[in-house]
Amino acid sequence: MTGVVPVLITTFLAAMVEAIEMVVIVLGVGETRGWRSTALGAVAGFGVLAVIVAALGVALSAIPISPLRLVVGSLLLVFGLQWFRKGVVRVAARGLAGMQMAGDDTAERWTGDGVDWTAFVLSFKGVVLEGLEVAFIVVSFGANANQLGASVVAGAAALLVVGAAGAVLRPLVTRIPRSLLQLVVGVLLTTFGSFWALEGLGVTWPGQDAAILGLLALYALTALANIAIERRRDALVVTPART
Amino acid sequence: MRRPLSWIVAFGRFWYSFIIGDDWTIAATVAAGLIVTAALNARGVAAWWLIPLIVVVLVRVSVQRSKREPVAPRR
Could you tell me the CA-to-CA distances from A231 to A10, A72, A96, A105 in Å, in that order? Answer: 46, 34, 12, 20
- Is A239 a residue whose pLDDT tops 80? no
Residues 6 or more apart whose Cβ sits within 8 Å of residue B73: A106, A107, A108
- Establish if A18 belongs to a structural domain: yes
Which among A112, A100, A138, A129 is positioned nearest to A197, based on CA atoms?
A: A129
- Establish if A132 belongs to a structural domain: yes
Mutate to test the interface with B, among A75, A86, A232 (most CBs of B within 10 A): A86
A219–B contact, CB cutoff 8 A: yes
Residues 6 or more apart whose Cβ sits within 8 Å of residue A96: A177, A180
- Establish if A190 belongs to a structural domain: yes
Looking at chain A, the whole-number percentage of residues with pLDDT higher than 70 is 90
Q: What is the pLDDT of residues A95-148, one digit of tens each?
A: 764 444 444 444 566 777 778 888 999 899 889 888 888 888 888 778 767 788
Which among A155, A154, A161, A164 is positioned nearest to A135, based on CA atoms?
A: A155
- Establish if A242 belongs to a structural domain: no
A118–B contact, CB cutoff 8 A: yes
Looking at chain B, the whole-number percentage of residues with pLDDT higher than 90 is 55
Give the model's pLDDT for residue B62.
93
- Establish if A126 belongs to a structural domain: yes
| Yes or no, beta carbons of A226 and B63 under 8 Å apart | yes
Give the model's pLDDT for residue A141.
78
Give the model's pLDDT for residue A101.
41
Averaged pLDDT of chain A: 84
Q: Which residues of A53-80 are buried (b: 16+ CB within 10 A; e: fewer)?
A: beeeeeebbeeebeebbbebbbbbbbbb
Residues 6 or more apart whose Cβ sits within 8 Å of residue A58: A139, A143, A148
- Is A57 a residue whose pLDDT tops 80? no
Farthest CA pair distance, chain A: 82
Alpha helical stretches, state H, A103-206:
117-145, 148-174, 178-200
Residues 6 or more apart whose Cβ sits within 8 Å of residue A53: A60, A135
| Yes or no, beta carbons of A78 and B26 under 8 Å apart | yes
Residues 6 or more apart whose Cβ sits within 8 Å of residue B2: none
| Yes or no, beta carbons of A112 and B75 under 8 Å apart | yes
Q: What is the pLDDT of residues A182-219, one digit of tens each?
A: 898 899 889 989 998 999 999 999 998 889 999 999 99
| Yes or no, beta carbons of B27 and A78 under 8 Å apart | yes
Looking at chain B, the whole-number percentage of residues with pLDDT higher than 70 is 85
A121–B contact, CB cutoff 8 A: yes
By CA distance, what is B32's nearest residue in A? Answer: A74
- Establish if A93 belongs to a structural domain: yes
Give the model's pLDDT for residue B50.
97
- Establish if A228 belongs to a structural domain: yes
Residue A215's domain comprises 4-237
Domain count, chain A: 1
Query: Which chain A residues have a beta carbon less than 8 Å from that of B62?
Result: 81, 85
Q: What is the pLDDT of residues A63-80, one digit of tens each?
A: 778 888 898 889 889 989
- Is A238 a residue whose pLDDT tops 70? no
The residue length of chain B stands at: 75
* Nearest CB to A89; choose among B19, B48, B66: B66
Query: Distance, in angstroms, between A222 CA and closest chain B CA?
Result: 6
More confident residue, B1 or A116: A116
Q: What is the ipTM of this complex?
A: 0.86
CA dist., res. B33 & res. A177, Å (int): 33
Query: Distance, in angstroms, between B45 CA and closest chain A CA?
Result: 9
Could you tell me the CA-to-CA distances from A162 to A15, A19, A52, A167 in Å, in that order? Answer: 10, 6, 22, 9
CB atoms within 10 A of CB B43: 8
- Establish if A67 belongs to a structural domain: yes
